Amino acid sequence: MAEKARILIIDDEEIVRDSCTQILAKGNYEILTASNGKDGLALLEEFQPDLALVDLKMPGISGFEVLEQIHAYDPTIVAIVITGFATVASAVEAMKKGTYDFLPKPFTPDELRMLVRRGLERRKLVLETIRLRKEKELLREHFAAIVSHELKSPLGAVQQNLFVLADDLAEKMTEEQKEKVSRLQGRIGDLVELINTWLRVISVDISKIRDDFKPLSIETVITKAVENVEPQAIRKDNEIKPKLSASLPKVSGNEGTLVEAIVNILNNAVKYSRIGEKIEIEAESDHSHISMHITDSGVGIAAEDLPHIFEDFYSGKTRPKGERSSGVGLGISKRIIEAHDGKISVKSKLGEGSSFTIRLPVIKT
Ligand SMILES: Nc1ncnc2c1ncn2[C@@H]1O[C@H](COP(=O)(O)OP(=O)(O)OP(=O)(O)O)[C@@H](O)[C@H]1O
Ligand SMILES: [Mg+2]
């Protein structure tokens, strides 16, 4: 028999708790009840409910607060509100806090059974979707890791030998043969590039970078990142101007990856700027966070691209000619920033430029 679904009933009225328990007794459920929000919330950890029936009007912690905390604990728990005053306003309010549905008092046994059954089906679907998504992610990472590692050196060797061979035979080959060899070199070059891109995506192991966080000066991180992209910037005459507030507080982090996160954004700023346009990098702080803004006045990002640019392998439609665009830079930056408990966001207008903001928590002194 399948595992029993766990239902938590939080209601201050004994009669409601008892009648719900009775109505649901014949189902394949394990049921626990609590007569107030505090006791109900205390059961979450141990009981791990699949579904919670919550009274909105209780003494002590309000039903709304209980819903909010259940949602914060595990957003997949299906919450159903029992309410004696099913006004539209309280309905909307509860729905905002992630409530699945309502049960106005008085309710019939069938109404309760049906709602609970539907709610549990919904939870099953949500959990299944999450499981599949995780599986897909893992599969992709493992696959990429294996393929990349296994192919990288033999392909490198093929590429190297081909160079040597083409050089040795340069005098003897017909134009047609040279053309074929050059096409071959091109295709192998693309493959090596592709593998390097895969390796770039999977090289940021979030679980590992957290292990050696140290207090870092953001000035140093920014200076190193700017140095990194300077050669490209100089070639296109894109001056990079850092504007840093004096004595910024330190952040806790991993220097190498944070530099990489900023390099990816600066690289984009250069790549998507026109010749001679300036790029600004500012940093300021309040008592809890450092905010960095990297602003260019380049080609900008189309509105339909904006929601996707942080996804792996997404490149937008405004791509400069002759530039490689694997669509992985920002995905990597986002993972790095989030591993530092930070946030990254963007504002952009097509044709006018883009501004990326990174917010990182500072070390409290
Ligand atoms: N500063 C910017 N100005 C305009 N478009 C940008 C900017 N930064 C990012 N984009 C858009 O977002 C997309 C995703 O950026 P991302 O850095 O992830 O990939 P990419 O630059 O295409 O390739 P790479 O993996 O080499 O960095 C880009 O293809 C581009 O369309
Ligand atoms: Mg990029």
Asked whether residue 121 is domain-assigned, the answer is no
Q: Please report which confidence band the pLDDT of residue 223 belongs to, taking 50, 70 and 90 as the band edges.
A: very high
Rounded Cα–Cα distance for residues 197 and 194 (Å): 5
Of 203, 295, 306, 330, best ligand 1 pocket probe by most atoms within 8 Å of the beta carbon: 330
The percent of residues in the chain predicted with pLDDT above 90, rounded, is: 66
Whether ligand 1 lies within 6 angstroms of the CB of 333 is answered as: no
Domain boundary among 174, 203, 232: 203
Q: What is the pLDDT of residues 193-206, one digit of tens each?
A: 888 877 777 766 66
Q: How far is the CA of 328 from the centre of ligand 2 (A)?
A: 7
- State yes or no: pLDDT of 56 exceeds 90: no
Count CB neighbours of 19 within 10 A. 17
pLDDT-wise least confident of 94-103, 280-289, 293-302: 94-103
User: Among 281, 285, 283, which Cα is nearest to 266's?
Assistant: 281
Number of structural domains found in the chain: 3
What's phi and psi for 302, nearest 5 deg? -65, 145
How far is it, in rounded angstroms, from Cα 353 to Cα 94?
40
pLDDT value at residue 1 = 43
CA distance 27 to 333: 49
**By percentage, how much of the chain surpasses pLDDT 70?**
97
Residue given tokens 């039903």 in the structure block: 63
Are 10 and 81 members of one domain?
yes
226 and 195 fall within a common domain? no
Question: Can you give the pLDDT at residue 321?
Answer: 72
Chain centroid offset of residue 188 CA: 33
240-244 β-sheet, strand order: 240-244, 279-285, 289-296, 353-361, 343-349
251 with 280, same domain: the answer is yes
- pLDDT, one tens digit per residue, over 108-154 is 999 999 999 999 999 999 999 998 888 887 777 777 777 777 888 88
pTM over 0.85: no
42, amino acid identity: A
Ligand 1 and 318: CB distance under 6 A: yes
Report whether residue 326 contacts ligand 1, using a CB cutoff of 6 Å: yes
Residue 286 Cα, ligand 1 centroid: separation in angstroms?
29
Tens digit of pLDDT for each residue in 147-177?
Answer: 777 888 889 899 999 999 999 999 999 999 9
Which range among 134-138, 262-266, 304-308 shows the weakest confidence by mean pLDDT? 134-138
In this structure, are 95 and 157 located in the same domain?
Answer: no
| 103: CB partners within 8 A, 6+ apart | 53, 80, 81, 82, 83, 111, 112, 115
How far are the Cα atoms of 30, 36, 160, 188, 244 from residue 39, in angstroms, in the given order? Answer: 17, 6, 69, 64, 50
Do 150 and 184 lie in one domain? The reply is yes
Q: For ligand 1, is residue 261 a contact (CB within 6 Å)?
A: no
CB-based contact 236:285 (threshold 8 Å): no
Q: Does the pLDDT of residue 9 top 50, yes or no?
A: yes
Domain match, 284 and 353 both: yes
Same domain, residue pair 281 and 356: yes
Domain assignment of residue 323, yes or no: yes
Q: Quick one: 231 and 166 in the same domain?
A: no
Ligand 1 close to Cβ of residue 249 (< 6 A): no
Q: What is the CATH number of the domain that holds 9?
A: 3.40.50.2300
Provide the CATH number for the domain around residue 275: 3.30.565.10
CA 296 / ligand 2 centre spacing (Å)? 14
Residue 52: exposed, middle, or buried by beta-carbon count in 10 A (0-12, 13-18, 19+)?
buried
Indicate whether 2 pLDDT > 50.
yes
Does the C-beta of 310 come closer than 6 Å to ligand 1? no
Query: 310 alpha carbon to ligand 2 midpoint, in Å?
Result: 10
Query: Which atom of ligand 1 is nearest to 312's Cα?
Result: 18
Measured from the CA of 300, which atom of ligand 1 is nearest? 4
CB contact at 8 A, 104 and 86: yes
**Neighbour order of strands in the sheet with 101-104:** 29-34, 5-10, 51-55, 78-83, 101-104
Confidence bin at 88 (pLDDT 50/70/90) = low
Tell me if 316 CB under 6 Å of ligand 1.
Answer: yes
pLDDT classification of 318: cutoffs 50, 70, 90: confident
Domain identity same for 63 and 171: no
Distance of alpha carbon 42 from alpha carbon 52, whole angstroms: 13
| Inside any domain, residue 28 | yes
Does the pLDDT at position 86 exceed 60?
Answer: no
Q: How far is CA 148 from CA 67, 200, 201, 365, in A?
A: 46, 10, 11, 44
16 and 94 in a common domain: yes
Quick one: tokens of 214? 């140290």
Is residue 247 domain-resident? yes
Task: Judge whether 299 and 320 are in contact, CB under 8 Å.
Answer: yes
Residue in 195, 268, 272 to alter for ligand 1 test, most ligand atoms within 8 A of Cβ: 268
- Indicate whether residue 305 lines ligand 1 (CB < 6 A): yes
pLDDT of residue 95: 78
Residue 299 lies in a domain: yes
189 found inside a domain: yes
- Range of the structural domain that residue 49 is part of: 5-107
Question: Are 270 and 347 members of one domain?
Answer: yes
pLDDT at residue 89 above 50? Answer: yes
| Together in a domain, 82 and 215 | no
State yes or no: pLDDT of 363 exceeds 90.
Answer: yes
For residue 100, give the nearest of 87, 109, 117 by alpha carbon: 117
**Does ligand 1 lie within 6 Å of residue 69's CB atom?**
no
